[in-house]
Structure 1
Amino acid sequence: MTYKKRLSLLIIVDSLIVISSIYVSFWLLNPSTSIFSSKTLLLSSLSLIIWHHLFAYTYKLYHKAWEYASVGEIITILKAVTYSVAVTGFVQLLAVGHIYIRALLITWMLHMILIGGSRFSWRVYRDIYFKPRSNKKRTLIIGAGAAGSMVARQLLQNKEAELFPVAFVDDDEKKHKLQVYDIPVMGSVADIEKTVEKMKIDNIIIAIPSLGKKEINTIYQECVKTDAKTKIIPMLEDLMSGKVSVNEVRDVEVEDLLGRDPVKLDMNSISESITGKTVLVTGAGGSIGSEICRQIANFTPKELILLGHGENSIYSIELELKADFADQIIIHTEIADIQDRDKIFLIMEKYMPHVVYHAAAHKHVPLMERNPEEAVKNNIFGTKNVADAADTFSVGTFVLVSSDKAVNPTNVMGATKRFAEMVIQELAQLSKTKFVAVRFGNVLGSRGSVIPLFKKQIQAGGPVTVTHPDMTRYFMTIPEASRLVIQAGTLARGGEIFVLDMGEPVKIVDLAKNLITLSGYTIEEIGIKFSGIRPGEKMYEELLNENEIHKADIFPKIHIGKATVKEREILNIFLLNFKNMNELDLRKYLLEVANNNEPEIKELFKKRINV
């Protein structure tokens, strides 16, 4: 039905209700009188019709979707009816000097019953007529609070929805055995498995937006004991920001199960350091670098320089950012290798950035074990080129993206990242530029991480390969890693190493199990195969060693390390003699330098290199 037809129908129905109400009330009070000849009755009817429609318009009574009517709509009807009857009484007083109180009270009561009944009959009809089809999936909602009841209501009212709620569970014992929209609250989270079996549940929806990651993980582990597919409503911050609505359920993702809440940003300090400034990001086409660019763009820098070696990835992030920010930010692209010192200096001189985020690096552990010289050239010399250029052209802040593998490194990649930290720490002592490093653990979904590999193995039917059943790692999401890098730039004083409080490390095998179940399979269907620890890998990663730890947070969930700077002589000797080293010497010296074994380093350099 079109809006005009619907409006006309409502006006006609309401007019008939108004006239009927007032005539019936007068007749009930004085049945022997000819009500049709009463001037007071005619005047009252005319007044009531006019004021009813005026108040109905004022309170948008004709704009309500009555098939979804609830308490709010009852209050609207109450206001429109009460005010129209009250004004009619005032008109009676002015016209005949008397208010027919009993007649108006009866009129008000009939008016409310008939107006309200006519509207709510639409909802009753809809609820009865549109019963769920047999092909709808029986759904359990976890959380019988405001969000859970809203999800249930939306599913009940949407005849196109494939899910149909049949039960709640909630840890609030006061709600147990009660009903919400005629849906029973069956018990607590501990009763999920029993409820799924009893109610023949096909789908589960976690509908508590304020839950932390640990609580989500705990609930999910109960859900995976069943055969039902688990979904979740958006997080509270997304609901509050208006990005999504509460009824937009989605599949649970591995990021939801990290076991800790994300870091919140100091928006004011970031805005001061980025808004209206020139910012350069190296490795801008990579998974971390491109997300740093996205996060930075939200703070509207004056210019954003995307520097990277791969033309396709730089082109991709350029297109994405220009589609969203072309009118707000000047975006430049530079295809360059950070190992090309002259080109890096030319770029730095050309743009004179205020802030540099250095994300370009080789990070794949087994590949760098087999190609140590490339790790050195890119991660150490490349970093030195960008850092020296930043120092030469007076960049305000330089942020190095480092790794937890730089702590007590046992592999070439970790050693080169620790070496890169030492390079910028040395510069920080001499330069006006604020040089800092940011360490974090494994990034979910980034290139070379275990998640894409596990997903491919699951798609191929398995098995998923895990190195060791006890191996653990710290994990974070790409957006979270990027936010940490940006926040570190605002906290920089020079020479610091910032570390995210990443909560408890996660067993790789548990991550694999979660990913298998999230993909809709059982562990038995896909299988897990243990392949053994690879060269250079640790069983457990660290974020700071014992000598680097500051107990207090410098910012909520961000720690600051006090990593020591090696003797400048040792650094310079290594840099000068790198090309003369064979692969064995190179790997050995890298690890000795990175692990601060200074006496052994000096002795090795004296014996094997002419110094």
Structure 2
Amino acid sequence: MSFKKINFQHLLTDIILSIVSVYLSLFLRVNLFEINYFINDVHRILPIIICARALAFIYFETYNIIWRYVSAVDAFRLGKAIATSSLVIVSATYLFQLGVVPRSLFFIDSFLLLSLLTGVRLSRRLFHEHKDAKILKKFGERTLIIGAGATGQGILKRLLADKELKLNVIGFVDDDKHKIGKNISGYRVFSSVENLENIIVNYNIKRVVIGIPHPSSAFLTRVLSITSPFGIKPLLFGTSDKGGQQQPELREIELKDLLTRAPHEIDIKSTIQMIKGRRVLVTGCGGSIGSEIVRQTLQFSPSRLIILDHSEFNLYSIDQELREFSSYHEIIVPALVDVRDKNCLKDVFDKYRPEIVIHAAAYKHVHLVESNPYSSIINNIEGTKNLLQLCEEFEVTNFVLVSSDKAVNPAGIMGATKRVCEILTSQMGFKTKRAYCSVRFGNVLGSSGSLIPLLKKQIESNQSLTITHKDITRYFMLIEEAVSLVLKAASISSPGDINVLKMGEPVRIIDIAESLIKLMGRDPQTVDIKFTGLRPGEKMFEELYISGNELNTSHPDILVMPKGDVLATDAQALNPDEWINEIISLAQQSDAKSVVKLKSFINSKYFA
């Protein structure tokens, strides 16, 4: 142990207590008439006692703690130091015949000294806890912990130790009948969660902390419905990544916590095998999905990662984030390129020779695509076609198209373009016999420009929430999980496959809105909601499957359509390449016939 870490004030205190303990032990062991007989021998042994105790305390690092946070672990460490030093003292006393004292004196001294040292430390801890409790009682927010089990008790200790949180714990609620009415560490378990509302009112509660491990979404929704009328945002203990280490932190409940779908563990062996040591190109790298693909791909040690985007700002943002990566200059290549520009794309392929291409670049906002059909057709369809042709030319082994549930029976331009991209990808997979596949999924929470941020902004601004229809539903998934499944699906796909991610049950948008209102500490009854009607290109519900012939894969959340789900409509049976080329050509001329041709090609029952 470094001497710089030794608190010499604490060491001096321990030495003084060691001296007091020896003489007090002698007083307890012999009567007053015998003390004078042994006292001189104790004087001779005292230097050995002081040296042995001090060295043992230092060796066992008993000063490498903060006294105000002393625990049973620290008491055990003190016990080891005292036992070891006592053994040394006894051995030295009798080996060198330093004096004659009762043998039991050393045992009494050991136990007495342990009591004195732990007592001093515990007294300091209790002093600080009492001092902090007075401050929290005066200035802290009155806080209730839900759950009086091990997790709840751990949270209590954390809140008591960290006065910076300014949370004054009043007590617990717990559904365990055996705990109700009892005290835990001096704090009462008032009642069950069923009576949470009454407890909030009766005890003027301002904060609620959930102390239950892995609470279900149904339980969190239940708690939210009780606390939101009081403007209380329940808190959870989660973890955050700080300096590469997971650190516990107190956070508010988020929308992702309320998802009813429980994610499955993903076996990443095939993903590692696909990516490790290979050259990977990610298009649309600055978007929500693309940037997460970049982050996760980087974890699997590619030899080169080309990040491509046509938006300078988006590319700059993700590039700045990746500069913290230690091997940035050896691995990361930023490419400011538009997928519509085949010549520039070819230059990237020629220079860096990607082996895997993950295509996430697309125009995705339904109403914007509907208002700008020609540029959307060119960007989504021609951009994908350019990439696929270059992948064929440069013998790229894996191509992954990030698709959408809107590609199934599309009701508008966005979904129709995605469906064409799926067909192009499957065709190229069949042609090259390489692992070229599509991965289809629904909405992800937190994606840029999506519904959730818009609703949050409206709630914060006290505006009316705008929802198209009271019964409209959508699939939702966490962005991190969606990307993990995209990479997993790509690693187990065969040529031309369309993989479909299981999104759980569709969720009503009105339910999402009400959950958001509660999460933001508002009462849903006080927030106005306006139904604006379906916009062009929107459907009441989304679908993930066309044929219904999906097969299970090695992962429970991934289904596959082995033949790419390419159905032979009359239009497709004629000549797909010819039709697609004509659609692109007409769009380049801003000709309305491109949309007519697109509708005819897709032959969707929803397309107006």
Name the TM-score, length of structure 2 as normaliser: 0.89
Q: CA deviation at 1:290?
A: 1.8
Residues 1:181 and 2:185 aligned together: yes
Q: CA deviation at 1:469?
A: 1.0
Residues 1:107 and 2:98 aligned together: no
Q: CA deviation at 1:214?
A: 4.9
Change (3 A) 1:7 1:336: closer
Are the aligned partners of 2:45 and 2:93 in contact in 1 as well (CA < 8 Å)?
A: yes
- Select which of 159, 173, 198 maps to 2:202: 198
- Distance in 2 (CA, whole Å) between partners of 1:264 and 1:383 is 31
Change (3 A) 1:7 1:371: closer
- Greater shift after overlay, 308-317 or 562-571? 562-571
**What is residue 605 of structure 1 aligned with on the other side?**
none
**What is residue 366 of structure 1 aligned with on the other side?**
367
Q: CA deviation at 1:98?
A: 7.6
Are the aligned partners of 2:5 and 2:63 in contact in 1 as well (CA < 8 Å)?
A: no
Change (3 A) 1:549 1:253: same
**What is residue 26 of structure 1 aligned with on the other side?**
26
Q: CA deviation at 1:420?
A: 0.7
Q: CA deviation at 1:275?
A: 2.5
**What is residue 119 of structure 1 aligned with on the other side?**
121
- Distance in 1 (CA, whole Å) between partners of 2:191 and 2:495 is 55
Change (3 A) 1:119 1:314: same
Are the aligned partners of 1:394 and 1:432 in contact in 2 as well (CA < 8 Å)?
A: no
**What is residue 285 of structure 2 aligned with on the other side?**
284
- Distance in 1 (CA, whole Å) between partners of 2:39 and 2:140 is 59
Are the aligned partners of 2:283 and 2:307 in contact in 1 as well (CA < 8 Å)?
A: yes
Are the aligned partners of 2:403 and 2:440 in contact in 1 as well (CA < 8 Å)?
A: yes
Deviations 1:572-609 (A, max 9, x none): 23124324589665445434433578xxx9xxxxxxxx
Are the aligned partners of 1:142 and 1:189 in contact in 2 as well (CA < 8 Å)?
A: yes
Q: CA deviation at 1:284?
A: 1.5
Change (3 A) 1:99 1:419: farther
Change (3 A) 1:218 1:591: farther
Residues 1:574 and 2:579 aligned together: yes
Are the aligned partners of 2:225 and 2:518 in contact in 1 as well (CA < 8 Å)?
A: no
Q: CA deviation at 1:137?
A: 0.4
Structure 1: give runs of 5+ residues left out of the alignment. Answer: 602-611
- Distance in 2 (CA, whole Å) between partners of 1:295 and 1:101 is 66
Change (3 A) 1:172 1:349: farther
- Select which of 582, 594, 597 maps to 2:602: 594
Indicate the SS of the match to 1:304: strand
Q: CA deviation at 1:143?
A: 2.7
- Distance in 1 (CA, whole Å) between partners of 2:349 and 2:11 is 71
- The AA in structure 2 aligned to 1:102 is S
**What is residue 246 of structure 2 aligned with on the other side?**
243
Are the aligned partners of 1:282 and 1:289 in contact in 2 as well (CA < 8 Å)?
A: yes
Are the aligned partners of 2:586 and 2:594 in contact in 1 as well (CA < 8 Å)?
A: no
- The AA in structure 2 aligned to 1:249 is L
Change (3 A) 1:270 1:584: same
Q: CA deviation at 1:133?
A: 4.1
Q: What's the % identity of the aligned pairs?
A: 36
Indicate the SS of the match to 1:234: strand
- The AA in structure 2 aligned to 1:110 is L
- The AA in structure 2 aligned to 1:594 is I
Are the aligned partners of 1:209 and 1:233 in contact in 2 as well (CA < 8 Å)?
A: no
Indicate the SS of the match to 1:63: coil
Are the aligned partners of 2:70 and 2:125 in contact in 1 as well (CA < 8 Å)?
A: yes
- Distance in 1 (CA, whole Å) between partners of 2:532 and 2:449 is 17
Deviations 1:68-95 (A, max 9, x none): 1222222222222233334333334434
Q: CA deviation at 1:208?
A: 3.2
- Distance in 2 (CA, whole Å) between partners of 1:267 and 1:242 is 21
**What is residue 259 of structure 1 aligned with on the other side?**
260
- Distance in 2 (CA, whole Å) between partners of 1:153 and 1:559 is 46
Deviations 1:103-157 (A, max 9, x none): 2232233212221211111012112223124231011122333332222112212
**What is residue 483 of structure 2 aligned with on the other side?**
482
1:270-281 matches, cutoff 5 A? 270-281=271-282
- Distance in 2 (CA, whole Å) between partners of 1:354 and 1:104 is 74
- The AA in structure 1 aligned to 2:486 is V
- Distance in 2 (CA, whole Å) between partners of 1:501 and 1:300 is 28
**What is residue 11 of structure 1 aligned with on the other side?**
11
**What is residue 565 of structure 2 aligned with on the other side?**
564
Deviations 1:196-247 (A, max 9, x none): 2232210112233433545444443444354322221116x979x84222xx
Residue correspondences, number: 591
**What is residue 430 of structure 2 aligned with on the other side?**
429
Are the aligned partners of 2:86 and 2:106 in contact in 1 as well (CA < 8 Å)?
A: yes
Name the TM-score, length of structure 1 as normaliser: 0.89
**What is residue 537 of structure 1 aligned with on the other side?**
538
- Greater shift after overlay, 181-190 or 489-498? 181-190
Structure 2: give runs of 5+ residues left out of the alignment. Answer: none
Indicate the SS of the match to 1:88: helix
- The AA in structure 1 aligned to 2:314 is S
- Distance in 1 (CA, whole Å) between partners of 2:27 and 2:35 is 8
Change (3 A) 1:430 1:254: same
Are the aligned partners of 1:40 and 1:92 in contact in 2 as well (CA < 8 Å)?
A: no
**What is residue 390 of structure 1 aligned with on the other side?**
391
Indicate the SS of the match to 2:148: coil
Are the aligned partners of 1:213 and 1:261 in contact in 2 as well (CA < 8 Å)?
A: no
Residues 1:90 and 2:95 aligned together: no
- Select which of 148, 152, 166 maps to 2:152: 148
- The AA in structure 2 aligned to 1:547 is G
- Distance in 1 (CA, whole Å) between partners of 2:559 and 2:44 is 78
Residues 1:232 and 2:236 aligned together: yes
- Distance in 1 (CA, whole Å) between partners of 2:375 and 2:252 is 40
Q: CA deviation at 1:409?
A: 1.6
Indicate the SS of the match to 2:285: coil
1:541-556 matches, cutoff 5 A? 541-550=542-551, 552-556=552-556
Q: CA deviation at 1:279?
A: 0.9
- The AA in structure 2 aligned to 1:244 is Q
- The AA in structure 2 aligned to 1:120 is L
Deviations 1:302-343 (A, max 9, x none): 221121211121122112212334546432222222222333
Are the aligned partners of 1:410 and 1:591 in contact in 2 as well (CA < 8 Å)?
A: no
- The AA in structure 1 aligned to 2:19 is I
